[in-house]
Amino acid sequence: MKHIKNQSTCISLFVILVFCALGCSIFVTSEDWQKDLRELETQLKERHINIFHNVSKETFETSVNDLHKKIPSLTTPEILVGIAQIVAMVGDGHTSFYASDQPDKRFNIYPISLYSFTDGIYLTAAAEEYSHLFGKRLVRIDKTPIDDAIKAINTTISADNDMEYVYTTPFMLIRSEMLYVLGITDSINEATYIFEDGTEQKFTSMSVSDYNSQDWLVVNSIFGPERKSPSMRHEFLFASSLTLPHLKERKYYWYTYMKEQRTLFFQYNVCWNQKDRPSFKEVVDKMFKYLDNNPVERIIIDLRQNTGGEPLIAEPLIDGLEQRSELGKNGKVFVLTGRRTFSAALTNAVHLRSKAGARIVGESPRGKPNSPSEGRDIDLERTDIWATVSTQFVQRDSSLGDIDFLPIDIEATYTFDEYRKGLDPVMDAALTADLYVK
């Protein structure tokens, strides 16, 4: 009897270890999900600076109650998507829940990369076997027209303004569980993508780790005939001959003088001081020393790949340009923004505009100029999921009021053909803009 009891104990321990190796998700019960949903509701109400600024209390609570009742009959992906839809109702980009990328619950993914250009959604990268799809505009996934798919996905995305949807939706259009739960596809692990010329391609989903380890080909011709990028990060996919060498060195910030254009170009990709490299202030001080002693016709500050960090890091740049106010008055300062420009980077763009007289070039950032911000984590331990909540209202420029978008002085965006050819229409717009015009 003692031998049998010991054997039973060993088997039980083995089973527990196996389950824990798989992330222990087997122990997440419907009751766990329901309790954590209530905890999320409580924390959002208590910690958000103004939880009902976009959605009524009644609508919000009804949505929470409805999901709470349904949880016992739902799968994990269905619960995660339901939570994302509730959090998205709050209506700001710093209060968020990423259904597809929760710990030990990451949604699988189809083996392509998509981007929304001015003329439609196209592949920016894929494994070599799918390179025949390059240059083809996506129009449908299974039986769902792409516009309908986008509308469904947008219900799960937390956003300050519509540029968040433009930025984020292409990432979600390849997440298999997301597409299935929203009724866009008929299978949880297979989907057929249909393109404008009638080409159809059936994909089977894979894990995120397998996706990241694929042997990728990219569309951007800056990478030469082999079309091999050292990284699949967004800033690499949209690299130029000017930025690529510095990206390979993983620099957060750097500058160079473009002699032919008599232009100082400053790239700022991350709002933090970089370890084991010169501080932001050291680099900026060196740049201003060069500016003060050389013939510089214009200054271009590129924030297109900057998703945020600490806004105060950029004060030496903003203050230095404000002290040289004639540059802004003469229309010589340009700030490039795009759909990735967010949070602290948006703050920097707003202040460069208001304090240094910079002209904004490109497309609108996905952040609202004055908005709930300062996102802080909400960790829900029973289900091992997390969200973020806006804890402060950030007023970057009171003169902009409640507008959704930072005003753009010179609009410039990419068509797919411009991207494929390795062109940079935003940079070109700043380099060719008339000076002394404000």
Region 175-199: what's the mean pLDDT?
98
Which tens digits make up the pLDDT trace of 330-349? 999 999 999 999 999 999 99
Partners of 359 in the β-ladder: 334
Indicate whether 126 and 96 sit together in one domain. no
Is residue 19 scored above 60 in pLDDT?
Answer: no
Q: Is residue 375 part of a domain?
A: no
Number of domains in the chain: 3
Region 116-122: what's the mean pLDDT?
98
Is residue 74 scored above 80 in pLDDT?
Answer: yes
Which tens digits make up the pLDDT trace of 136-157? 999 999 999 999 999 999 999 9
Region 101-129: what's the mean pLDDT?
97
Indicate whether 249 and 313 sit together in one domain. yes
Indicate whether 144 and 194 sit together in one domain. yes
Is residue 15 scored above 60 in pLDDT?
Answer: no
- φ, ψ (nearest 5 deg) of residue 167: -75, -50
Indicate whether 240 and 326 sit together in one domain. yes
Q: Is residue 395 part of a domain?
A: no
Indicate whether 308 and 185 sit together in one domain. no
Mean pLDDT of the chain: 94
Identify the pLDDT of residue 89: 99
Indicate whether 154 and 253 sit together in one domain. no
Indicate whether 186 and 67 sit together in one domain. no
- φ, ψ (nearest 5 deg) of residue 254: -170, 165
Q: Is residue 248 part of a domain?
A: yes
pTM score of the predicted model: 0.92
**With DSSP H G I counted as helix, E B as strand and the rest as coil, what are the percentages for the chain, rounded to 5?**
40, 20, 35
With bands split at pLDDT 50, 70 and 90, how would you rate the model's confidence at 26?
A: low
Indicate whether 239 and 283 sit together in one domain. yes
Indicate whether 271 and 360 sit together in one domain. yes
Region 360-367: what's the mean pLDDT?
98
- Which own/partner contact pairs does 394-398 have at CB distance under 8 Å and 24+ positions apart? 394/347, 394/370, 395/370, 396/346, 396/347, 396/350, 396/351, 396/369, 396/370, 397/350, 397/351, 397/353, 397/354, 397/369, 397/370, 398/370
Region 303-320: what's the mean pLDDT?
98
Q: Is residue 189 part of a domain?
A: yes
Region 373-397: what's the mean pLDDT?
98
Rounded Cα–Cα distance for residues 163 and 403 (Å): 13
Instruction: For residue 350, give the CATH number of its domain.
Output: 3.90.226.10
Indicate whether 83 and 131 sit together in one domain. no
Domain that holds residue 247: 234-368+404-432
Least confident of 9-13, 338-342, 351-355: 9-13
Indicate whether 322 and 263 sit together in one domain. yes
Indicate whether 53 and 201 sit together in one domain. no
